[in-house]
Chain A
């Protein structure tokens, strides 16, 4: 998981490490930080690509085969409340089940306006990776399922309100 890796990187950066008390020999701390950042950045980049490209491939394939058009028709009534086309339900659900990287991959197969990208981004950023993150919340002593529902509902509500506000502002 990327976030776990992030955590590890964060931990390294916090608090005086074992080497901090001694004057660091060799490359300065800035150079070391840059190198570590580069490594973390490339690792994240690779994680993104690993999810995004296959998701994009599958979504594009489904779109060409006409499958998304069928799904979109069913989702249209709900999605239109957010100012989104029916097919935007595909990246949304992909985000709920998998993660935001896969959602972005699936999003690339659709033609969306800048405002629609932002509205969809709000819903996906609030509700995503619900299975894995639900387990994390469960471990913190909360009800993972209830939080999953909360994130879906609050995410859609936030997206809907944003869509209305963007029309006004």
Chain B
């Protein structure tokens, strides 16, 4: 077999296998997600969970909701919700920063993780470990940002009253 034939054969087999794995795993789960999204228990779960996680990460309830949406469905959607809520509720800059840090570490957790599970990555490490990592980074960077802002504020002389 020549190198070109071998290349083409590897390509066709590899691409076919990849497509099949994606189809078998991604499509059914997307259907399940779509059905779940509309149900009342699922929405109640998301709300309860948003409150809980928001408290851990030091977020207000208003900041927690778009974070959970972005966490589940993707940065583009969560991000646009953040932009909207910043205008609507006047979210504080620290809140927006923490939401952005958390979401930049984990977003679209169902879909993106699934795709990697389909090619053999461990679900525990890419979901549980990554979420824990994101939470730690969010809390640490949030604290660093607060300290930084306060130091800068302290150094600046107060304007005369």
Residues of A within 8 A of B (CB): 1-4, 6-7, 9-11, 13-14, 29-30, 33-34, 36-38, 40-42, 44-45, 48-49, 52-53, 56-57, 60-61, 64, 100-101, 104-105, 107-109, 114, 117-118, 121-122, 124-126, 133, 136-137, 139-142, 147, 150-151, 154, 158, 161-162, 166
Number of A-B contacts (CB under 8 A): 189
Contact A147 B23, beta carbon cutoff 8 Å: no
B52 at interface by CB-CB < 8 Å: no
Would you list the 6 A-B pairs with minimal beta carbon distance, nearest first?
A37-B34, A7-B77, A41-B30, A37-B31, A3-B74, A13-B37
Contact A154 B137, beta carbon cutoff 8 Å: yes
Residue contacts A-B, CB under 8 angstroms, 14 given: A9-B73, A40-B30, A52-B18, A108-B18, A114-B121, A118-B121, A121-B126, A125-B106, A126-B130, A126-B133, A126-B134, A137-B79, A140-B83, A141-B86
Residues of A within 8 A of B134 (CB): 126
Interface SS majority for chain A:
helix
Residues of B within 8 A of A38 (CB): 27, 30-31
